A and B are shown apart, each in its own frame.
Chain A
C-alpha cells in the first residue's frame, strides 16, 4: 500500500483537528489555520488524484480494526479525489474572497467560531465524499447540517437567524427521511457498507421480493438528499440562507455543502442501489421532472428578484435542477454531465457571489440591482469576475457552463423520449439565465449620467485587498480551465463514474 493512499483518512482528520484547534485561538490565527489546512488538504488531494489516475482503480481503506463486512471503510477513486481537490479550491476562493466582509460581519471575539464551522463543514463534506459506510454518511450529513447552520449565523442578525431556522427545519426533514431510508436498507440487506449492500439489493431486485419496500426506500433516500440539496420544490429555505449570510458562507453553502449531498446521492446510486435498479424504479422519473421544472421556475424566480444576492441564490435553484435532470436521465452520460455541472456550477457560483460582494461594496452597500449602475467601473476586479461568472452560468463557449450544457444536450439524444423535454428546458432556461445575468452585467457597465453624478452619487473607484483579487483571479481561471481544458476533466469524470460502483 502506497503512502499516498492515506490521504482520505488524513484529510478528514486534519480538518477535524483544525476545527478543534481553532476553538482555542483568536480570530486571525483561526483564519490562518483554516487557510493553511485547506491548502494542505488540497495539495494532498492533488497528489492522490495523480496517483489514482495512474492506477486507474479505486481502493478501500479500512478504518479501525475490523475487516470489511463488519468494520468501517473509506473508499477513494479518482472522482472522489478530484471532488476533494475541487472543494478545497472553492473553499480557498470563498475564504479569500469573503475575508474583508468577514472582518466587518463577524464579531471580533467570536470570529474563531466561524472558522470552527468552516473547518467542520470541510471535514464533513470530505467524509461524505470518501465514506463507504451508509451510517457514517448519515452522521456526517448531520454534522454538515449543523456546520452549515453555523456558517449562515456567522453574520448574526434577525434575518440570518430566521433563515437558519428555516434551513434547519427543511434540512432535518431531509435527514429524517434519509435516516429512515438507511434503516430500511439495513433491514433489507443486513449490511451498512455500500458495496455489500449493492450485492444484496441486486439479489432482492432480481427475485422480485420486497419490490415495493425497495422502491419506497430508494424514494426516501433520494428525496431526503434532494431536500437537503434544495431541488425544486424543496428550495424554500435557500434564498434567504444564501442571500443574507456573509459572502464566504454563501459561496461555501452553494458550492460545497449542497454539492456534497448531490455527490453522496450519485455515489449511493452507483454504489448502493446500482444504476440499473435505480433506472428501473420510477423514482428517477420524479427527479427528472422536478429537475426540469426547477430549471425553469428557479430562473423565473431569479428574473423577478431586485436584490442581487437573492437573484444569485434563486439561480442556484435552477442550476441544481440541471444536475438532477442529468441524474434523472439515468444514463452514464447523463450522470457524467451532472457531475461536470457540479464542477461548473460550483466554480461559477462561488465566483459570482464573491464578485457581487465587491460590487455591492463599490456601490455603498446597495444590494438593489438598479443601484449597482457603473459598479463595474468602480471596482474593476469584481466587475470582471462577475462578468466571467455570468458568462459561465449562461453557457458561453470557453466557459465551464457551456461544456456541461452541451453534455446534457448530448446525453438527452440517447433516449428519444427525453430529447425534446431536455432540449426545450435547456433552451428556455438558458434564455432566462441570459436575461437576468446579462441584465446585471449591462447595468454594471452602464456609466452614470451627468445628473446622477451631480446629485452626488459615488464615482470613486474602490481598492481591493490582494486576497479579494486573488479569489477573483482564481475563480476566473478555474472557470476558464473547466471550459477550455475539458478533456482531462471529462476523462476523470467518466472513468471515475465507471469505478464508482
Chain B
C-alpha cells in the first residue's frame, strides 16, 4: 500500500485535482469559477492519461535513425487521447463562456443562486 503511494504519486495528484475541479464545478455559485473548475477537472484527467502513457527511459514515438523496434518508443495512443480531450474541453469551455456572456447581459450577475431567484420571480 505504502509503496504504491510513492510510485503512483502523480496519478494520486491527478485524482485529487479531479476532485478539486469537480467540487468547484458542482458547488461554486459563480459561473466563471465553475468554468475554472471544469478546466481543472478535465486537465487532471489529461495529466492522468499522460502519466500512464509515459514509460521512463523510452522515447517519444517518432522514428529517428531508422530504429523501427517498438520496444524503444512509448505508446502514442494515450498522448493522442490527451490531444483529442484537449480539443473537446476547449470547445466546451468556449460554449460555456459564450453562454456566460449571454447570461450576464440578461441578468447582470454571475451568481447562479441570484439567477434562480430571478427566474422564479419571472415564472410567477
Contacts and interface: CB of A to CB of B under 8 A. Distances in A.
B95 A149 contact: yes
A135 B81 contact: yes
Given A158-B107, A158-B122, A159-B119, A146 B92 contact: yes
A191 to B, nearest CB: 10
Interface size class of B (residues with CB under 8 A): 35 or more
A183 B45 contact: yes
A209 interface: no
A186 B26 CA distance: 26
Interface residues of A, number: 28
A139 B26 contact: no
Contacts of A307: 123
A168 B95 contact: yes
Interface string A436-477: 000000000000000000000000000000000000000000
Contacts of A166: 112
A164 B99 contact: yes
A172 B45 contact: no
A149 B15 CA distance: 28
A501 interface: no
Contacts of B85: 179
A173 B21 CA distance: 10
Would you call the interface of chain B mostly helix, strand, loop, or mixed?
Answer: helix
Contact of B96 (A158, A168, A186): A168
Interface in B23-76: 25-26, 31, 34, 38, 41-42, 45, 48-49, 52
Contacts of A183: 45, 48-49, 52, 81
Interface in A355-408: none
Contacts of A169: 25, 34
B106 A172 contact: no
Contacts of B84: 135, 139
A187 interface: yes
Nearest to B11: A187
A180 B95 contact: no
A242 to B, nearest CB: 15
A192 interface: yes
A135 B77 CA distance: 11
A173 B26 contact: yes
17 contacts: A138-B88, A139-B84, A142-B92, A161-B102, A162-B107, A162-B119, A165-B31, A165-B96, A165-B100, A168-B96, A173-B25, A176-B21, A176-B42, A176-B45, A177-B22, A183-B48, A186-B52
Interface of B: 15, 18, 21-22, 25-26, 31, 34, 38, 41-42, 45, 48-49, 52, 77-78, 81, 84-85, 88, 91-92, 95-96, 99-100, 102-103, 106-107, 112, 115-116, 119, 122-123
